[in-house]
Amino acid sequence: MTLALVTMSHSPLLEFVDPPAEVKAQVEVAFEAARAFVKDYDPDLVINIGPDHYNGFFYDIMPPFCIGYEAVAIGDFGTQAGALDVPKELAAELTDYLMHRDIDMTVSLRMEVDHGAVQPMEIIYGDITAKPILPIFVNSVAPPFTPLRRIRQLGEGIGAFVKEHLADKKVLIIGSGGLSHEPPVPQIATATPEVRQSLLGGGRHLTPEARDARQQRVISAAKDFAAGINVVKPLAPEWDRELMRILATGDLSPIDEWSPDEMTEVAGNSSHEVRTWIAAYAALGVVGEYTVDYSFYRPIPEYIAGFGVTIASLK
C-alpha cells in the first residue's frame, strides 16, 4: 500500500482569461509537474476531495461533507461532463468506516459535481474517467462551516481507511481548491429574493442560456479584478504561504485554531476551499511521514485566485 497527494487550485477561468504569458507558462509548468508525477506513480484509485459552487449542493440540504456512491460532472466552464467511474461498494465501505470513527457522513447516490471537483482530474489525465475515483464533497462556499479540526479528522479517517483497507493498492488523493479568493459567488445572507431561491435549489440544472449568463458574470468579474477594479476582496498571499508552510510541516494542529469567520475576513469567502487541501494532507499524514516534493504558488488576479499546486509523497 502507498498513498501520494496532489493539491491544486482550480479555476473556472483557465480558458476564458489571459494572464501574462509568463504567468500562464508557470502554471503550465506546475500542471506538467503534477502530470509527470501521477504518470510515474500510476495509482490504482483516486480519492478526490473537492468543493461545489451551488451546482450540485444547495441550501435545501447543505452537508459539511458527503461521499458520492455515483457521481456526474455537469460540465460547467467547458469542463468535461458525464459520469465518473465510482466504485460504489468501496464508497460504501469508506462511509461505514468513517461513521464508526464518529464522522457523521452524508452520502449521495447521485452526486452532481462541477469544475471544482473534476478540473484537476481533467488537467492531469485529460479524462475524468481515466481512473476509478471516490468523490468526496466538502462544503467550502456555504456558511455555516464546520470547524477545521473536523476537516482534519475527516482526512485522518480517510487516511486510516486507506491504510487498513487498501493495503494492496496505490492511491492518489487529490485536494482541489483554494487558496485565498473571493469570486462572485452569492452569499445567502445578502442574497436578493431571486438569488436566494437559486441558492435554495432553484439554480439546479440551469438552461444553457442561464448557465452561459452565470459564467459570463464570473468572467467579467475576473477581467475587472485583473484591471484593478475593486469588485472582490484582494488576494492574501501571506495567508496562502502560511497555510502551505504549515501543511508541509506534517503538523496540522495549528490550523485547528483558525476560525471560519477569520478565514473569510482575511482570505475571502471562497478561501474555505483550502479545506480540501487540509483533509488531503491529514490523510497522508496518518499513513506516514511525508515530504512535499513540489510546490508552486503565485497570486493570479486574472484567475481571482491565490494559485497553488503541491505534490507530496511518503518518506
Q: Give yes or no: 181 in active site.
A: yes
Tell me, what's the pLDDT at 107? 98
| Cα–Cα separations (whole angstroms), residue 123 to 30, 33, 34, 181, 279 | 11, 11, 9, 21, 21
Residue-by-residue DSSP string for 147-190: -HHHHHHHHHHHHHHHHHH-TT-EEEEEEE--SS---S---GGG
> pLDDT for 94-128, tens place per residue?
999 999 999 999 999 999 999 999 999 999 999 99
Q: What is the pLDDT of residues 29-64, one digit of tens each?
A: 999 999 999 999 999 999 999 999 999 999 999 999
**Domains recognised in the chain with CATH numbers:** 3-314 (3.40.830.10)
Q: How large is the average pLDDT for residues 255-262?
A: 95
* pLDDT recorded at residue 225: 79
CA distance 233 to 16: 21
Q: Choosing from 10, 53, 165, 181, which is the catalytic residue?
A: 181
Q: Are 279 and 158 in contact (CB under 8 A)?
A: yes
**pLDDT score of 41:** 97
| Model confidence at 1: pLDDT above 80 | no
- For the segment 230-251, what is each residue's pLDDT rounded down to a tens digit? 667 889 999 999 999 999 999 9
Summarised one tens digit per residue, pLDDT across range 131-178 is 999 999 999 999 999 999 999 999 999 999 999 999 899 999 999 998
- Quick: pLDDT tens for 191-216: 999 999 999 999 889 888 988 888 88
pLDDT given for residue 139 in this prediction: 97
Q: What is the pLDDT of residue 231?
A: 67
Exactly one of 10, 53, 115, 272 is catalytic; which is it? 115
| Mean pLDDT computed over every residue of the chain | 94
Residue 115 bears catalytic tag? yes
